[in-house]
Amino acid sequence: MNVKIPNEGLTIQNVKGIGEETALQMNQMGIYTVLDLLEYLPYRFEDYRLRDLEEVAHDERVTVEGKVHSEPSLMYFGRKKSRLTVRLLVGRYLIQAVFFNQPYLKKKINLHDTVTVTGKWDKNRQVITVQHFTGGPHNKDGDFEPVYSLKGNIKNQTLRKFIKKAFDDYHEIITENLPGVLLEKYKLMSRSDALYQMHFPASPADMKQARRRFVYEEFLLFQLKMQALRKFEREHSNGTAQHYDVEKIKVFTDSLPFPLTGAQKRVVNEISADMKSPFRMNRLLQGDVGSGKTVVAAIALFSSVTAGYQGALMVPTEILAEQHADSMSELLTPAGLSVALLTSSVKGKRRRLLLEKLKEGEIDILIGTHALIQEDVEFKSLGLVVTDEQHRFGVNQRRVLREKGESPDVLFMTATPIPRTLAITVFGEMDVSIIDEMPAGRKEIETYWTKADTLPRVLGFMDKELDQGRQAYVICPLIEESDKLDVQNAIDVYNQLLVYFEGRYKVGLMHGRLHPDEKEEVMRRFSSNDIQVLVSTTVVEVGVNVPNATFMLIYDAERFGLSQLHQLRGRVGRGENQSYCILLAEPKTEVGKERMKIMTETNDGFVLSEKDLELRGPGDFFGKKQSGLPEFKVADMVHDYRALEVARDDASALINSKDFWEDPQWGQLRLFLSESGVMKGEKLD
Ligand code: ADP
Ligand code: MG
């Protein structure tokens, strides 16, 4: 026993006091070796620092030291329930400390003793309901106590004792994985010191410094993997260097009916650089609804054609395909390009002819649904693939489309603003371009939040809009986990509105249980103003463009996430006329109220998505199932976002420097990478 072998395979039974039984319980917690134990970090800290009651808010948890000023009085109620009350003199305050169900403390607390108690402070009644009692004066050493996640019979204090022992006897097995230059650059603690301070913080400030080190370490290691994967994919992708014609592109952009916004120019340059490079582009283009992604895609597609290639644009629904085909033709046909639409409704001879032309290279740009990825669709030379609303396509569909050309560049577009933090992590291996500026002169959608009992007035407002020839969406209650109930709700509202608008306006109904053909039909009728009011569940298509719709009413808005509300709201505000969005909501919580309020305050999708992430946490942002977010032990993607950015930039610079692959000082990090498998192009977990 107790032979000190600097070996990370050392089992925990080598720590004094840990026997077989304890070892088994620790195994349950994922702790097998001494190093596992040393690296088993607390998930939070209990703050036992003394505070002046003057500064403590009502209901806050507080620790105070006081002198016992009365004999404790014990009262029983029920069989096992009791209440012990004692007066304490805390500074200038004479307060009451109340202990529930701890009758044995009566003997331990004596008049004139000095005791320390922690609990909830009732400011009005001047009472502390004690949660934690220390018989004696306040002990500064225990000011700040790490709290671990535990299993079995192991107690927090026991675990700490073992960790202390492990530190005493084996701290030299902790090795540094960050090179000195980085530690110095960011003034980070050594790994060994940081571990010690996480378990036995000398002060909150020391704990913070320790935590800062681990946040950086976790992010850096994660980003190194991402950046290495990205480099690997680029270099093994055999993309095509597209030698586009800069002069022609300039003439084309000058011919557009409006100047590009600064953000549009920037992303066009980012995309162009990728297309020109021999690596294959794998880029995500993010831009809020209406930020002008279509023009950017058009310029990219045009560039590809000037380089002698064809382009494809894939969208998730037929309606969107038709809309895109229209707007792309409008932009590209005058410039001499031939644009074609391929959906499942293009059949028979027309389809055969189209495919022939495509194969001959007579079609420059093909736009369509997943009909584009059927086997018999052959391009002459596909150079660029753009997909819109990328989250609607599966990974496989994107891959099939990509494999249609030699190695076409790929641009994914999405209108779902993803907070930068998440974009860095989820799409870490992709390049991300962001359009964060709206074209000038856009009318902001006016959003109001009101309660359900104002519905008659809201309907009056809607009437006025309809009377001016406009159209309206009515989005129906969302009932979680129950598609059936959602549909029923939509049907109920639909029936009410049928009666309300009878003989004046036509009302349509849209929900997830309709056949795809029926959905298309309803949308088509709404598009052509054959229907004026569309009652819908949230299935109302992302990206659908009916500029004449200026009014949206959302029932039970408190049940939607901010990002979803923003997406829904984006169906209006697409034309010249002022648009309105009314949120009917009665949120019960402060967070819920906050969400409604912020909807009325901003139209900026990125601001909303950041806020959403803050309020909901990363796991919930994408929905649990598809989140695929990495888990960090210490770091928090939302709050440590700045560190994430720094780590990302550092990782990127390192991976792309020659020095990193040669200099011995980066040896540990290189080892980490080769062990993680990314250098062989293996999938990340
Ligand atoms: P989205 O990003 O939602 O796809 P679109 O590309 O459909 O946005 O653009 C929305 C509207 O804004 C279109 O009518 C488009 O013509 C117009 N638009 C795009 N870029 C600009 C610009 N730079 N200046 C003015 N209008 C623009
Ligand atoms: Mg669009």
Q: Which domains does the chain have, with CATH numbers?
A: 49-135 (2.40.50.140), 445-602 (3.40.50.300)
Confidence of residue 669 (pLDDT cuts 50, 70, 90): very high
Choice from 256, 258, 266, 442 to test ligand 1 binding pocket (greatest atom count within 8 A of CB):
258
Give Cα 128 distance to the centre of its chain. 39
Mean pLDDT of the chain: 86
Choice from 266, 291, 315 to test ligand 1 binding pocket (greatest atom count within 8 A of CB):
291
Q: Give the side-chain half-sphere CA count within 13 A for 583.
A: 28
Between 100-114, 393-407, 510-524, 637-651, the lowest mean confidence (pLDDT) is in 393-407
**Closest CA relative to residue 340, chosen from 355, 545, 517, 406:** 355
Closest ligand, as measured to the CA of 287:
1
Residue by residue, DSSP assigns 268-331 as HHHHHHHHHSSSPPEEEEEE-TTS-HHHHHHHHHHHHHHTT-EEEEE-SSHHHHHHHHHHHHHH
CA dist 313 to 157, 341, 474, 515, 641, Å?
61, 10, 31, 25, 34
Q: How far apart are CA 376 and CA 374, in angstroms?
A: 6
Q: Which two tokens stand for residue 111?
A: 């008049």
Closest ligand, as measured to the CA of 296:
1
Residue by residue, DSSP assigns 379-414 as -SSEEEEEEESGGGS-HHHHHHHHTTSSS-EEEEEE
Q: How far apart are CA 94 and CA 96, in angstroms?
A: 7
Instruction: Name the closest-CA residue to atom 17, ligand 1.
Output: 292
Asked if pLDDT for residue 680 goes beyond 70, the answer is no
Going from the Cα of 324 to the center of ligand 2, the distance in angstroms, rounded, reads 8
Q: Which residues 6+ apart lie within 8 Å of 503 measured at CB?
A: none
- Ligand 1 atom having least distance to the Cα of 570: 3
Choice from 266, 284, 294 to test ligand 1 binding pocket (greatest atom count within 8 A of CB):
294
Instruction: Name the closest-CA residue to atom 15, ligand 1.
Output: 292
User: Where does ligand 1 bind, in terms of residues with CB under 6 Å?
Assistant: 258, 260-261, 264, 287, 289-295, 415, 439
Task: Note the pLDDT tens digit of each residue in 244-285.
Answer: 999 999 999 999 989 999 999 999 999 999 999 888 888 889
Q: How far apart are CA 10 and CA 170, in angstroms?
A: 10
CA-CA-CA-CA torsion for 609, 614, 615, 617, nearest 10 degrees? 100
Closest ligand, as measured to the CA of 543:
2
Going from the Cα of 628 to the center of ligand 2, the distance in angstroms, rounded, reads 26
Q: Is residue 24 helix, strand or coil?
A: helix
Task: Note the pLDDT tens digit of each residue in 154-204.
Answer: 899 899 999 999 999 999 999 999 999 999 999 999 999 999 999 999 888
Q: How far apart are CA 477 and CA 536, in angstroms?
A: 9
Going from the Cα of 32 to the center of ligand 2, the distance in angstroms, rounded, reads 52
Going from the Cα of 411 to the center of ligand 1, the distance in angstroms, rounded, reads 18
Asked if pLDDT for residue 2 goes beyond 70, the answer is no
Closest ligand, as measured to the CA of 434:
1
CA dist 7 to 3, 4, 34, 36, 90, Å?
11, 9, 9, 12, 51
Going from the Cα of 319 to the center of ligand 2, the distance in angstroms, rounded, reads 12
Asked if pLDDT for residue 457 goes beyond 70, the answer is yes
Amino acid at 15: V
Residue 15 is classified by DSSP as S
Q: How far apart are CA 497 and CA 475, in angstroms?
A: 12
- Ligand 1 atom having least distance to the Cα of 295: 6
Q: Which two tokens stand for residue 413?
A: 């577009």
> Is residue 537 left, alpha or beta, with left meaning phi > 0 and alpha meaning psi from -120 to 50?
beta
In this structure, are residues 594 and 564 in contact, taking their beta carbons and an 8 Å threshold?
Answer: no
Full-model pTM: 0.65
Task: Note the pLDDT tens digit of each residue in 385-412.
Answer: 998 875 555 555 556 666 666 678 889 8
